[in-house]
């Protein structure tokens, strides 16, 4: 009687492993860097800039959705790549600001305080969740696997849009309390 060889699991694509690694490294690095304070730099000008980047990202996300609905794939690709670049730029500025500045406390009282913290907490949690969703969506489009791309994009898009919009809302709500 001949033995059948053991089946081996298919090897994961290197980009998939990279996306998983990036999706873990970014939130951990941001959390760790929040504990690092570098004196002597004044990046207090950054919050309105990175809030504007969030706003621009939201606008470009909507424009990209309109483009793909109108079958303008090249425009959609350019807009989505711009959104990814803007998100990376946002992340760099956000970390630079928080490494060089003290955190600002929200000074609102009453019900508005609960609203602010609800928006802030959901914004933070979903900003972590959206990383692998966006990266996998982009990967599938890049590989030409548009079935998987569309399936994940239907989940990633509203979450990314929420994160971008609430980033602006959080800034607007906390901006009166910046020193």
Residues 6+ apart with CB under 8 A from 44: 97, 101, 178, 179
Tokens in use for 125?
């949690």
**For 97-150, what is each residue's pLDDT tens digit?**
999 998 889 999 999 999 999 999 999 999 999 999 999 999 999 999 999 999
**For 55-91, what is each residue's pLDDT tens digit?**
999 999 999 999 999 999 999 999 999 999 999 999 9
Tokens in use for 92?
């760099």
What residue ranges do the domains of the chain occupy? 44-177
**For 19-42, what is each residue's pLDDT tens digit?**
999 999 999 999 998 889 999 999
Compute the Cα dihedral for 159, 109, 94, 57 and give only its sign: positive
CA distance 116 to 85: 28
Whether pTM exceeds 0.95: no
């Amino acid at each position: 009687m001949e033995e059948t060889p053991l089946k081996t699991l298919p090897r994961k694509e290197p980009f998939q492993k990279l996306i998983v690694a990036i999706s873990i490294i970014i939130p951990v690095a941001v959390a760790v860097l929040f504990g690092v304070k570098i004196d002597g730099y004044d990046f207090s000008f950054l919050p309105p800039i990175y809030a504007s980047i969030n706003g621009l990202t939201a606008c470009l996300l909507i424009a990209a959705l309109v483009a793909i609905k109108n079958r303008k794939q090249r425009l959609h690709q350019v807009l989505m790549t711009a959104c990814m670049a803007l998100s990376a730029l946002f992340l760099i500025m956000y970390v630079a600001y928080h490494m060089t500045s003290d955190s600002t406390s929200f000074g609102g009282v009453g019900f508005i305080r609960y609203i602010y913290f609800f928006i802030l907490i959901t914004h933070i949690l979903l900003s972590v969740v959206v990383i692998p969703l966006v990266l996998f969506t982009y990967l599938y489009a890049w590989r030409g696997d548009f079935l998987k791309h569309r399936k994940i994009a239907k989940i990633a898009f509203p979450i990314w849009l929420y994160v971008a919009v609430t980033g602006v809302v959080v800034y607007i709500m906390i901006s009166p309390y910046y020193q």
